[in-house]
Every structure is written in structure tokens, then in C-alpha cells.
Amino acid sequence: MKAASCLDYRELARRRLPRFLFEYIDGGSYAEVTLRRNVADLEAIALRQRVLRDVSSIDLSAELFGQRHALPIGLGPIGLAGMNARRGEVQAARAAHSAGIPFCLSTVSACPLGEVAGASPSPIWFQLYMIRDRAFMRDLLAQARSAGCTALVFTVDMPVPGSRYRDYRSGLAGAPGLGGALRRFGQALGRPRWAWDVGICGRPHALGNVAPVLGKNSGLEDFFAWMRNNFDPSVTWKDLDFIRSEWAGPLIIKGVLDADDARAAADLGADGIVVSNHGGRQLDGVPSTARALPPIADAVGGRISILADGGVRSGLDVARMLALGADMALLGRAWAYALAGGGQAGVAHVIQLMEAELRVAMALTGARNLAELGRDSLVAE
């Protein structure tokens, strides 16, 4: 199958990954209402076609946090993404570098921060959760500084993990011990190409950044138990003081879905926010990002940088996010599918597809640069 779109890579990922990994990427929490809203609400937004506007020269570049990027697109943090291809986060970071866009590594990545940062020719971003063990957080932040990370993405919408039914059905979660391991092993044998390339040649599978605290308990069931037991539900806005005391660079608060929370982040000195519902993987039933973004942009636009994720499957979706008020769109499942379906080349291809689609969208809405892509580029509801 020759992939021509993000959804083609989703199909390739479904064919190539063991079921437990595909369902982890593809699924959301509970009945997956918000997961579906993210996609449906975004694609339902009508772009306003304009003509005879001289769009012979179009500038897609975006500046955030003092750095110029070739596109208003970034690769957002995805847990366990390194299991989608051999040392997968390394491949994705290299693809992002080649495209001139940022790559953000998850705290719960498969490949450790040092490996990914060392393999990427350009600096990466690092994503962090609030963890009960503050000493461990200090160590992670020290590693991020040492690795030259240029921004910290602090995720705040996961004080407790959401319940993802697909992970229980597939055996990724709720299947401890030998029984769960055998279920996953059987699924891996059904994907021999993945089993060889990732399962055998992609070792070690140490769940990178949390391996030092997991110790010998490094199985997937131990990993999920660690998340449940170590994410800190007592976190408040005051805890940003702790983050700021350990991190002097750009700080981006991820998981904002309410205008009041966006104002609080700006008031407390955050450099940016990510308007996000965790890809529909946390509280099911909340608004889509496309619905939440405009009032947030009205509240804090111009004060801090606004990034957004959730449902972005094409360059047209990127254009919609920017027109709604975002300064940059973060890809999540889009690059995870591409990594599983085609490795580094797949990720690079999806970025190229989105660039081409975004360029067409801007040309046909009469926008020659990102500053001209705004609410006037959308058909009023």
C-alpha cells in the first residue's frame, strides 16, 4: 500500500503493529466521545476561499520562543512512541530536524532523553508530568538542561490517568504477570516484521526515562502501575514555582482547555500553552480542541504563545487551527501512525504532505503568511 495521506499511515500502522500497541496509539478514554469530536469538529470548519489575491509567494515559517521554524507544525509528545519502530523516537526526531520543526520527547518515551537528544542534529523539547518524587523530577530537568533542550512542555491534565478501555481489551493494561505477557507475545508473533525489527533488533525496551526508578520491574504492567501510583493528584498552580526554580528556559503548559486556566498560566509567567484534551485520552465528554481554542485565543492571544493539538490529520487541519488562533499545531497520532507505517521516512513524508496541503490552503484562502491566516480565513458559522 502506497501512503498518500495520514489516514493511509493509520492503516499501515494497524497492519504492522501488534494489537496492543496500535490500540494504545489509536484509542481514547471511555466511550471515546472527545476523540471523535476532535476530528469531526475540526474537519467541519469551513475555510473561506478567496481569489485574485497574488499568492505567488507564501511564507510558512513561524517564530516561537526566539526560534524560527520552517513550518507552524511540531511533533508533540507521544508515550511509548519508540515501540512503533526501531528506536522510534530517534527516527522521529531526525525527521523533525530535516523538516526544520520542533520535536518534543515524552517523559514516558521508550528511548531515553540522552539517546534522542544525542542523535538529533538540532535541539529538542522535553515534556514532563508532575510526579510525586520531586527528586526524580529534578533529575529529569537536570538531564533536559544537560541535553540542551530548548523548551519544557509541562503536562497538567493528567493528575490521574484516564481509563482507556481499548488498552484493557488488548492486554496492554490490567493484565499483570505471565498471562498478560503471553497475550502481548502472541500478538507480537502475529506481526513478524515488527517482532524482528523492534521486538528483537530494537532492544533495549527499558522505557527510557523512567527505567532508573522502575529498576528490575520494567514490564509494561509495571510501567502503567508506576504511572497510576506516581502521578501527583495534589498538583496546583503553586507547583509552577517548583518548575520555574529548576527550569529557566521557555515553559509551555500543556492541557489547557478553559479560558480561565489560560489566563492563570499567562499570569503566572508561562511562555506558552498547549490547548489540548490529551487527544481524547483523559476526561471523555469535554469539548474538542477546535471548540475550546477560539475563546482561549481571545483571552490570552498576544500575551503568550498558543499551541494546539487534537484531531490534526492534514495540512488543512493545521490551517484551521492557525485560523482559530493557534501559533503552532502539534501533531500526535499523525506522526505516530507514520512512524509505525514507515519509520523516519514515513514521518518525513507526513510532514511533507502537511506542508503541501497547508500551502494550498493558504493560497486558496488568500493568506501569504501566517499573520494573514486568521478568523477572516474561515466561513462564519
pLDDT tens for each residue of 52-62: 999 999 999 99
pTM of the predicted protein model: 0.95
State the catalytic residue, choosing from 69, 97, 278, 349.
278
CA dihedral 334, 338, 344, 345 (to 10 degrees): -110
What single-letter amino acid sits at 181? A
Cα distance between residue 258 and residue 292, in whole Å? 7
| Cα–Cα distances in angstroms (integers) from residue 191 to residues 82, 148, 172, in the given order | 17, 37, 16
Confidence label for 209 from pLDDT (cuts 50, 70 and 90): confident
Query: In angstroms, how far is the first alpha carbon of the chain from the final one?
Result: 38
Cell output for 210: 523512567
Angle (CA) 175-157-88 rounded to 5° is 60
What was the pLDDT predicted at 373?
97
| CA-wise closest residue to 191 among 22, 364, 8, 3 | 22
Instruction: Confirm whether residue 332 is marked as ligand binding.
Output: yes
Instruction: Confirm whether residue 312 is marked as ligand binding.
Output: yes
Confidence label for 232 from pLDDT (cuts 50, 70 and 90): confident
Phi and psi (nearest 5°) for 301?
A: -60, 130
What was the pLDDT predicted at 216?
61
The full set of domains in the chain, from first to last, is 6-367 (3.20.20.70)
Cα distance between residue 354 and residue 22, in whole Å? 22
Confidence label for 78 from pLDDT (cuts 50, 70 and 90): very high
Instruction: Confirm whether residue 78 is marked as ligand binding.
Output: yes
Q: Does the structure show a pLDDT above 90 at 257?
A: yes
Residue-wise pLDDT tens digits, 130-140 = 888 889 899 99
Q: How many residues are recorded in the chain?
A: 381
Instruction: Confirm whether residue 77 is marked as ligand binding.
Output: yes
Q: Any alpha helices (H) in 147-210, and if so which ranges?
A: 165-170, 177-189, 192-194
Phi and psi (nearest 5°) for 272?
A: -165, 165
Catalytic residue status for 97: no
| CA-wise closest residue to 72 among 290, 287, 347, 371 | 371
Instruction: Confirm whether residue 281 is marked as ligand binding.
Output: yes
Q: Does the structure show a pLDDT above 90 at 256?
A: yes
